[in-house]
Structure 1
Amino acid sequence: MRTTKRLPRIRHLLIGAVLALGLPCTALADEQKPPAKPLDVKKAFSTICGYCHGDYGRKPSKAPQLMNSARSDDYLFNIIKNGKPGGMAAFSSAFTDDQIHQIVKFIRNLKPDEEPRNP
């Protein structure tokens, strides 16, 4: 009779031990992920955006000029992320939100006669 009362206790202790030993391992796995590689915004703009926006967006091309755009940062962010029907493709699968913010900052820092720099 005593053994039947101990079985549930032992089972709970074993489950607790397995969980206690397993959780730190998952935490270590998360910590060991390499950090995301920083985006080279200038290169990304040149190779991806430059196809339509040309010369770093400083002059009208197949797509509008981006330098000195009157559009808000939120507008630019949303267009880059979600695209525009019949116009620009969406890039939400190519860039993280943080990277899109970096691209918007890059656009805002464009100067007519200076070599563009990463933000």
Structure 2
Amino acid sequence: MPTLAALVTISTLSAQQPAPPTQNEELDVGQLFATTCGWCHSDGGRAAGKGPQLMDTKRDDEFIRNRIKHGKEGAMPAFGVVFSDAQIDEIIKYIRALKPHQG
């Protein structure tokens, strides 16, 4: 029989990784980023938090794709089974389009 701590841990982990949209559902990358990546990449990726600032990153797309898919031990979880390649491409486009807030 599972312990309360195990159930809380499982519940917390599943709450942190939202279900990816279905094939027919449009991906709201800003919302996905806020709810999945925003825990560590602050201000929608515009500022460093637990993770680095992504706006104006010097890393190439292949590095970013690999990091999203495979994570970084002790720093970032792998999302390769959560997001499709097309969804990861959209996340990379989102990161590349980040600009400072105006006003």
Which TM-score band applies after superposition, normalised by the shorter structure? 0.7 to 0.9
Aligned length: 81
2:24 counterpart letter in structure 1: A
Structure with the largest fraction of helix:
1
1:36 counterpart letter in structure 2: N
In structure 2, do the counterparts of structure 1 residues 35 and 86 end up closer, same or farther at CA, with 3 Å as the change threshold?
closer
Deviation at 1:35, TM superposition (A): 4.2
Give the aligned CA root-mean-square deviation in angstroms: 1.4
Partner of 2:86: 98
5+ unaligned residues in a row in structure 1: which ranges?
A: 1-33, 115-119
- With structure 2 as the length reference, what TM-score do the two structures score? 0.74
Q: How big is each residue's C-alpha offset from its partner over 1:30-51, in whole Å with a ceiling of 9 and x where there is no partner?
A: xxxx843221101000000001
What SS does the aligned partner of 1:106 have? helix
Partner of 1:24: none
Structure with max Cα Rg? 1
- With structure 1 as the length reference, what TM-score do the two structures score? 0.64
5+ unaligned residues in a row in structure 2: which ranges?
A: 1-21
User: Hey, which bits of structure 1, 4+ residues long, moved more than 3 A?
Assistant: none
Supply the distance in 2 between the matched residues of 1:66 and 1:107 (Cα, whole angstroms): 6
